[in-house]
A and B are shown apart, each in its own frame.
Chain A
């Protein structure tokens, strides 16, 4: 079982716009995979295709070797932090997370809920209404929701968006620890420094097409920018 995510010619058309255009990529188990692209490049659409929220017009996507993306089996082993946070503001953090623990049929849901709240640093706020949470706290709660089913693969769409530097660092440390425990992470972000620091391999998409993928040194080679950072590589790959 080496392949965590594999897409072949994955395509999604929105009206006249090709949001994802014959995307073929492979993520191995245990990888910390960075997924970059400018606004509107198709990152969120790709994550939605991989998590079964939308259906592809063409191509295939599989999770963990042979599970079709969006199947119940794939959902059980994946944790997702989508772009739209969508929280029930009238609930407390504990009530909210325990709802999801039940939806995933997590054994001992209450214990798992408290454990995940503690991991993301929300233990003291567990009985507080979500409506009273700051943006950063909501972000942490979404991450806890993504972790509630002890996922083997994590799909994260801008997970540190809206967090202060301390919050960003906490999440980065947590993600590193999860990855060290063998969790595959599919990480989409605009924070290039963060991606360069965390990810072992990176893919860049532009106008829905995969323009490059590999380690940072491989991307440097591909673009001919041998001594440049990820920002220059990204700008070269996505500059029209």
Chain B
């Protein structure tokens, strides 16, 4: 049954031109970043691996921002536009509803990733880790985005308001992104170090650094960075499960 929700959601993305706006923003940001890396006097002096690492930050950062904004209204929109009631009057299960929405939202990330691939290829011209780097951006990006989506869906079921969900999600995103931008000197502090090794975003960038600088292109070589991202995904899944239980208990319509 989830496939009908997925198809409906994908059609909504196309029909309402929402996705086109996202893709345009993405293309402009990636073009601008790549252009600067390759033509700016100072940026073009950067080592190619550092250039790629910065580009990966731009790609994943842009995707996280877009997914956060988009996913914040994916579930809550059904409550605000009062379409949830008619959907749940059918035999549609909550599991199928969430799965359909999750896959639709994930497809937005896949599209953003596909837009990013040509830019990666151009910036990484001549590098022998291009393929591995692309695979790692896809794998780590997918895990990170999936974790964020589940967390945002969990928040959506609790608040049922897109404004509150978006604000909360952006605060969490900011709280995770900021420590990831700390310099390595700052991370020598025990607290900063702890934040760094537990922060999923930080671990994604550390893993990509590991691929580009230390040529660790195997999964086992990156396990210590992949593991915290996996834990984040499981925690987000558990949170979503908890909030859907609360949702089931309180009913599709919260109040009369």
Contacts and interface: CB of A to CB of B under 8 A. Distances in A.
Given A53-B251, A86-B82, A87-B83, A99 B91 contact: no
A14 B256 contact: yes
Interface in A128-163: 142, 145, 149
B219 to A, nearest CB: 39
B92 interface: yes
B251 A55 contact: yes
B91 A75 contact: yes
B91 A90 contact: no
Contacts of A60: none
A96 B244 CA distance: 26
A53 B91 contact: no
B85 A86 contact: yes
Contacts of A54: 250-253
Nearest to B15: A90
Determine which residue in A48, A51, A87, A103 has the highest number of CB atoms from chain B within 10 A of its CB, and name it: A103
Contact of A99 (B8, B81, B252): B8
A48 B4 contact: no
B115 interface: no
Contact of B1 (A19, A90, A91, A103): A103
Contacts, number: 75
Interface in B58-81: 81
A88 B83 contact: yes
Given A72-B91, A105-B91, A145 B253 contact: no
B249 interface: yes
Contacts of B256: 14, 19, 40, 44-45
Contact of A53 (B4, B15, B81, B88): B88
A81 to B, nearest CB: 9
A76 B81 CA distance: 24
A53 B12 contact: no
A84 B82 CA distance: 6
Interface string A79-100: 0101011111011000100011
Interface string A34-54: 000000100011001001111
A102 interface: yes
B16 interface: yes
A112 B87 CA distance: 18
A87 B81 CA distance: 8
A103 B12 contact: no
A104 B253 contact: no
Contacts of B252: 53-54
A84 B253 CA distance: 10
Contact of B90 (A85, A87, A104): A104
A44 B83 CA distance: 16
Interface string B195-212: 000000000000000000
A89 to B, nearest CB: 8
30 contacts: A14-B255, A40-B256, A44-B256, A45-B256, A48-B251, A48-B253, A53-B85, A53-B88, A53-B89, A53-B253, A54-B250, A54-B253, A55-B249, A75-B90, A75-B91, A82-B85, A82-B86, A84-B82, A86-B85, A86-B86, A88-B8, A90-B15, A91-B15, A95-B11, A99-B8, A100-B90, A103-B1, A103-B4, A103-B91, A145-B86
Given A87-B86, A100-B86, 18 more contacts: A14-B255, A40-B256, A45-B256, A55-B251, A75-B91, A76-B91, A84-B85, A86-B81, A86-B83, A86-B85, A87-B83, A88-B12, A91-B11, A99-B4, A103-B90, A103-B91, A103-B92, A145-B86
Interface of A: 14, 19, 40, 44-45, 48, 51-55, 72, 75-76, 78, 80, 82, 84-88, 90-91, 95, 99-100, 102-105, 142, 145, 149
Interface of B: 1, 4, 8, 11-12, 15-16, 81-93, 249-253, 255-256
